[in-house]
Structure 1
Amino acid sequence: ARLNRIHSIFGTVDGLSGRFVSVFNYFKSLFYSKFMKPLRNGNVIHDEPPRKRFQEDFESTPLYIAVVTYINYGIMIVFGFLRDFLRRHGFEKTHASTEANDMKDFVPLYASFESFYTRNIYNRIQDVFNRPICSVPGPVIDIVERQFSKSGWMFKYTGKVLKNVVNLGSYNYLGFAENDGPCAEASIESIEKYGVGVCSSRKEMGNLDIHVKLEQKMAEYLDVEACLTFGMGFATNSMNIPCLVSKGCLIISDGLNHASLVLGCRLSGAQIRVFKHNDMKDLESKLRDAVVYGQPRTHRPWKKILIIVEGVYSMEGSIVNLPGILELKKKYKAYVFLDEAHSIGALGSRGRGVTEYFGIHPREVDIMMGTFTKSFGAAGGYIAGSRALVEHLRYHSHSACYATSMSPPVCEQIITSLHIISSTDEGKRRIKQLADNCRMFRQGLKKLGNIVYGNDDSPVVPAMIYAPTKLGAFSREMLKRGFGVVVVGFPATPIAESRVRFCISAALTEQQLQDALDAISDISDLLQMKYSKKK
């Protein structure tokens, strides 16, 4: 009876009610698109971009590649256990951290598969991670050379510096990671006025006028009522989600959400359910069950339901199906938390993120979150939305109440870059250049025969490597040819889906990207990485 009541309210997927709603919504959208102009702050907007159709590409893994990858891991795990046996009995020296002798009868404090993976696999390719950079992290970088021991546990600096390495791994989407120009000059002036550190929280003696100005500018840019900024992007998620939901609430989270979102969900005390990445059918199934059955055991209605998604997913290069998410949000009376860390500044004709990309007004999203660490070339994060939301977080967020305020030069970097993005031809040029670079590079990889994940407009471009033995080899070969890349494996990705993650910047030239594609083609032939079956 309860299910029938829900169907009578929301309609079934293939029932008459669902078909009636679909037809009604079609004619309603047709009417508004033909005869009505969208409104923003009570004013008619004449240049609202058309809504984009949702699309993404996830070519399936060839069966033989999946089998070979698991065989690789199987061989490494067998030899890993054999080497652990030899270490335990003194036949091989132990380089890893171990428990003290007087604690041998205790349960190991940090024994896990992750530590096993670190000892026996990660350290073999450790030279391709944590490379020390001694220059501005712009389109080209200087890398300090290191020489590793055969075991991978020790290294020494050779004293050499690898100059002018093309940077294909930083989140410098709009090229604002600079040590000269208007942003750097404005930051230097702010140091002369405010100094570098604030030495207090916003609730005490650390609320500067520059912080208030930044929040006002950001709210205007996003076209929302208010905005609250924080000094750390990770904490913007992990410390604020617990302020929005608690015991008796339900979080429905995308299966590929960032670790900061996952931590925030766990700290909240709310029930957590995970839906398949960008799968609207699975999301609707979980929403319907939540409405029909309520809380476990008591079956009381949930206090609130919060859907948490990202704008651009940092490991998959995919863009959230925001139109589908908002349709289900309205249908089931849920709230939406949108993390725009990788999409703000990088998507949309004016850089306003995934909402502008799909032609959706930001006020349709309940909680807008983003960071300043990517497109703005700075640090920190923000949450924007209604004034009631922001005031609630201002007085209840641990990150707002107890963390030290954002450094003034960082604030000035954000304000200046925001002005360039929103109000100058240079900002428009950078946004367009980023979009052109993303499409050119992604299409180039596909033509080479690499399997590339995600959306064509995403600045994150993952190319699949699969075999863990190829991760280190690919990165080293790219560095030999003058390109710095980021390779990613377990635990950041599923164990059999190792990849190279390219992050494209507007500061990169077409020639640099073409040279990179030529190098990738040569290395892909060498390592047999052209897995795609698409013509």
Structure 2
Amino acid sequence: MPSPSPSPSPMAINIASPSPTRSMFSKKRSKPPIASAASYLNALSQADARARTTRAPTATPALSLSSSITSSSEDTVLNESEHAYDPSNADGLTHPARPPTSEQVFTTVHTEFGHCANDKFRLTSQHALGEPLPEHVEQDPPYYILLSTYISYLILIVIGHIRDFLGKRLSPKYYTHLVPRNGYAPLNSDFDSFYTRRLKTRMDECFSQPVTGVAGRTIVLLDRISPDYNHTHIFTGTRTRALNISSYNYLGFAQARGGCADAVEESIIRYGVTTCGARLEGGSSDLHTTTEALVAEFVGMEDALISSMGFATNSAYIPALVGKGSLVISDELNHASIRFGTRLSGANVRMFKHNDMRNLESLLREVISQGQPKTHRPWKKILVVVEGLYSMEGTLVNLPVILELKKKYKFYLFVDEAHSIGALGPHGRGVADYFGIDPRSIDILMGTFTKSFGAAGGYIAGNKALIDRLRVRGHLGPYAEAMTPPVLTQVLASMASIMGVAVPSPASDAVSNTLVPTAHPGPASESALPSWLTLPPLLASGIEGRSRLRRLAFNSRYLHRGLVKLGFITYGHPASPIVPLLLFNPGKMCMFHRMMLDRATPIVVVVVAYPATPLVTSRVRFCVSAAHTKEDVDTVLRACDEIGDVLDLKHGKAEGGERWSIERIIASAEELAGSS
């Protein structure tokens, strides 16, 4: 894929159009096209057999010098500072290069963030005011797909039980951890571990892939083989750089270079690495108070508190909100951290069908009229817990309707914005920003810093009285360690880059601050940031932050619409950066993963199966980022188109009843992304 010549923009000025160069992912030898899945499996099994026999290190075919890392070549991202800048190669892809500090060129390497100067590939993430949120209609595959999926699991289960029966008698040493021994009960249950041992192990190559470096636009995989059918893995000593479509790096702030990284480096010099976390349990510092104030301003709430772990934010603070005599009404697809927190609270729990507002209202009528079990006394409080963006489905909460129900039935609303904050809305302020709703109409906003902000930890935001109570009653206050200065600085720098610092939005910018209520303020004041924290002009002005938001919106809609037009069954809202593509059959999960990784441009994907999803709805989950270029999305669509034909995955009904060719989709990207 040749690198396109960028046109002048605020991010790239006076760069000469580079001559066509080899792609960073190009291989030395091209492979013949795959005729069928059977031929691919046959070739793959032969390669695996040779690997198990010889145990010789094998590697993914070499990429170009800038992207392939073998035992004889080092990571160019780590060693770029040792080389001079080559003006004939603006992207710095063919040869290791360090861009100069001048603002006339890009300030980050292309492997971390794919630069795009074409304003056509931009879109504002915003729901049309007054229009209802369209309901997501799940498409069912043909019956033979469902039947073959059930049969596949049945065969795996039967063969697994036969192997267990024979293995316990013929090779008992491999089952010692599953049977009573020396008067002790087994620590692992034979029945409970059956799925892990007999089903998941067969496709373990799809999970827990070892990587190194920054999870940016590309990622470096540590190559490995398995001589014993995934029971153990052996590193080959080689590495492969692949296009990364699997990380929650929504805005591309997971970068080893740039303004945010420079700010983090400065914080380490000033504070050290663990000043706030290693010695002070529940401690605080000036960075903590500054970060909490900026978070509250960013999400449009009175106050906020932060914690060092996103999962613990839900599981530790929900018990401080509700208790015995209270009722939690939870969406059936809420995250495990929410489920864990509600169990710890001791409150009664009821669930409603995913995003089904009629079912929610019916449940509210029932629980309010019946009251508490046995006594039928009124509930002390009712808390409805939903997510802004559901990570497995890619669906958005129907926030306008929930707020109407809130006014009618007088319950408290808790919105988990782990995936939506920073990824949705014209200002990146989450689902309230996306729908143009005052965030203070929501009682509790929760979010994490691990996705859009490239940091770690989580936050709770609400009115000051609520946050003060949580500081005292929440378990994380007295027991958990505080966030470290580098992490806090990354949060401050990335959040300020989205907001802008004390500079009004340019009149020419396509996103106007009048689109949403004033509860979502514009730039952060300089006093809201540490005096030593300075950002480059493009970040401080908010220009690059707004550009990233609009690039993410375009990439998300383009990939979603493109997959639908190709004929795939997908889930989720078009504005969601999470795009699930349904695979169904368990055998196709490994095949899809291998075939994506074995292409001329290797692509690393996330495959999701039971129990994270229902048994028959296994899927691959694409995670789009602002770091991806339009050409990167083209590459993913081309790969899906070819592999979808081989694996028989195109069972969806295209919008309008007409499927498009891949060439037409690529040529009509603006039309697809802009369609409602």
TM-score of the two chains, using structure 1 as the length reference = 0.88
The 3-state SS of whatever aligns with 2:153 is helix
Aligned pairs, number? 486
The answer to whether residue 189 in structure 2 is matched with residue 69 in structure 1 is no
Contiguous gaps of at least 5 residues in structure 1: 1-46
User: What one-letter code is carried by the residue in structure 2 that aligns with 1:279?
Assistant: D
Partner of 1:529: 649
Q: Distance in 1 between matches of 2:340 and 2:463?
A: 24
Partner of 1:162: 240
Partner of 2:366: 289
2:169 pairs, out of 51, 71, 89, with 89
The answer to whether residue 547 in structure 2 is matched with residue 429 in structure 1 is yes
Preserved contact between residue 228 and residue 382 of structure 1 (Cα < 8 Å):
yes
The answer to whether residue 404 in structure 2 is matched with residue 330 in structure 1 is no
Deviation at 1:93, TM superposition (A): 6.7
Q: Distance in 2 between matches of 1:215 and 1:486?
A: 33
Q: Distance in 1 between matches of 2:239 and 2:147?
A: 40
The 3-state SS of whatever aligns with 1:228 is strand
The 3-state SS of whatever aligns with 1:474 is helix
The answer to whether residue 544 in structure 2 is matched with residue 464 in structure 1 is no
The answer to whether residue 141 in structure 2 is matched with residue 59 in structure 1 is no
Q: CA RMSD in A?
A: 1.9
1:101 pairs, out of 167, 177, 181, with 181
The answer to whether residue 157 in structure 2 is matched with residue 80 in structure 1 is no
The 3-state SS of whatever aligns with 1:395 is helix
Partner of 1:363: 440
Partner of 1:402: 479
Q: Distance in 1 between matches of 2:645 and 2:178?
A: 41
1:132 pairs, out of 189, 210, 215, with 210
| Greater per-residue helix proportion | 1
User: What one-letter code is carried by the residue in structure 1 that aligns with 2:624?
Assistant: I
The 3-state SS of whatever aligns with 2:403 is helix
Deviation at 1:96, TM superposition (A): 8.8
Deviation at 1:222, TM superposition (A): 1.4
The answer to whether residue 305 in structure 2 is matched with residue 228 in structure 1 is yes
2:565 pairs, out of 440, 443, 447, with 447
Residues 51/516 of structure 1: CA separation in 2 closer, same or farther (3 Å cut):
same
Partner of 1:275: 352
Give CA deviations for 1:225-247 in whole Å, capped at 9, x if unaligned.
Answer: 00000000000001110000011
Greater shift, 61-70 or 357-366, is seen at 61-70
The answer to whether residue 386 in structure 2 is matched with residue 386 in structure 1 is no
The 3-state SS of whatever aligns with 2:582 is strand
The 3-state SS of whatever aligns with 1:101 is coil
Q: Distance in 2 between matches of 1:159 and 1:121?
A: 28
Preserved contact between residue 57 and residue 452 of structure 1 (Cα < 8 Å):
no
Q: Distance in 2 between matches of 1:92 and 1:527?
A: 39
User: What one-letter code is carried by the residue in structure 1 that aligns with 2:618?
Assistant: S
1:120-269 alignment to 2 at 5 Å?
A: 120-163=198-241, 165-198=242-275, 206-269=283-346
Preserved contact between residue 282 and residue 480 of structure 2 (Cα < 8 Å):
no
Q: Distance in 2 between matches of 1:272 and 1:203?
A: 35
The 3-state SS of whatever aligns with 2:576 is coil
Q: Distance in 1 between matches of 2:190 and 2:568?
A: 34
User: What one-letter code is carried by the residue in structure 1 that aligns with 2:155?
Assistant: I
Preserved contact between residue 230 and residue 382 of structure 1 (Cα < 8 Å):
yes
Preserved contact between residue 51 and residue 357 of structure 1 (Cα < 8 Å):
no
The 3-state SS of whatever aligns with 1:351 is coil
Q: Distance in 2 between matches of 1:95 and 1:525?
A: 42
The 3-state SS of whatever aligns with 1:308 is strand
The 3-state SS of whatever aligns with 1:143 is strand
Residues 458/87 of structure 1: CA separation in 2 closer, same or farther (3 Å cut):
same
Preserved contact between residue 198 and residue 405 of structure 1 (Cα < 8 Å):
no
Residues 300/491 of structure 1: CA separation in 2 closer, same or farther (3 Å cut):
same
Q: Distance in 1 between matches of 2:261 and 2:176?
A: 42
Give CA deviations for 1:322-373 in whole Å, capped at 9, x if unaligned.
Answer: 1111111221110111000000000000000000111111101000000000
Residues 205/291 of structure 1: CA separation in 2 closer, same or farther (3 Å cut):
closer
Give CA deviations for 1:444-501 in whole Å, capped at 9, x if unaligned.
Answer: 1111111000101001100000111111111111111200000000111111110000
Deviation at 1:97, TM superposition (A): 4.6
Deviation at 1:152, TM superposition (A): 1.5
Preserved contact between residue 306 and residue 459 of structure 2 (Cα < 8 Å):
yes
Deviation at 1:112, TM superposition (A): 6.2
Residues 58/146 of structure 1: CA separation in 2 closer, same or farther (3 Å cut):
farther
2:452 pairs, out of 363, 372, 375, with 375
Give CA deviations for 1:266-291 in whole Å, capped at 9, x if unaligned.
Answer: 11110111100000111111111111
Partner of 2:538: none
Deviation at 1:204, TM superposition (A): 5.8
TM-score of the two chains, using structure 2 as the length reference = 0.70
The 3-state SS of whatever aligns with 2:355 is coil
User: What one-letter code is carried by the residue in structure 1 that aligns with 2:440?
Assistant: R
Preserved contact between residue 56 and residue 455 of structure 1 (Cα < 8 Å):
no
Q: Distance in 2 between matches of 1:349 and 1:112?
A: 51
Partner of 1:508: 628
User: What one-letter code is carried by the residue in structure 2 that aligns with 1:53?
Assistant: P
Q: Distance in 2 between matches of 1:265 and 1:205?
A: 23
Q: Distance in 2 between matches of 1:98 and 1:373?
A: 37
Runs of at least 4 residues of structure 1 off by over 6 A?
Answer: none
Give CA deviations for 1:172-195 in whole Å, capped at 9, x if unaligned.
Answer: 000000000011000010011111
Partner of 1:115: 193
User: What one-letter code is carried by the residue in structure 1 that aligns with 2:224?
Assistant: R
Deviation at 1:201, TM superposition (A): 8.5
Q: Distance in 1 between matches of 2:137 and 2:413?
A: 25
Contiguous gaps of at least 5 residues in structure 2: 1-125, 501-541, 658-676
Residues 159/56 of structure 1: CA separation in 2 closer, same or farther (3 Å cut):
farther
The answer to whether residue 585 in structure 2 is matched with residue 475 in structure 1 is no
Preserved contact between residue 178 and residue 189 of structure 2 (Cα < 8 Å):
no
User: What one-letter code is carried by the residue in structure 2 that aligns with 1:385?
Assistant: G
Preserved contact between residue 127 and residue 434 of structure 2 (Cα < 8 Å):
no
Preserved contact between residue 127 and residue 435 of structure 2 (Cα < 8 Å):
no
Q: Distance in 1 between matches of 2:252 and 2:386?
A: 26
Q: Distance in 2 between matches of 1:97 and 1:522?
A: 44
The 3-state SS of whatever aligns with 2:211 is coil
Q: Distance in 1 between matches of 2:210 and 2:175?
A: 22
Q: Distance in 2 between matches of 1:100 and 1:197?
A: 45
The 3-state SS of whatever aligns with 2:170 is coil
Give CA deviations for 1:148-184 in whole Å, capped at 9, x if unaligned.
Answer: 1242201100011012x00000000000000000110
The 3-state SS of whatever aligns with 1:161 is strand
Q: Distance in 2 between matches of 1:487 and 1:208?
A: 41
Q: Distance in 2 between matches of 1:78 and 1:130?
A: 27
Preserved contact between residue 453 and residue 495 of structure 2 (Cα < 8 Å):
yes
Q: Distance in 2 between matches of 1:469 and 1:400?
A: 46
Q: Distance in 2 between matches of 1:333 and 1:245?
A: 16
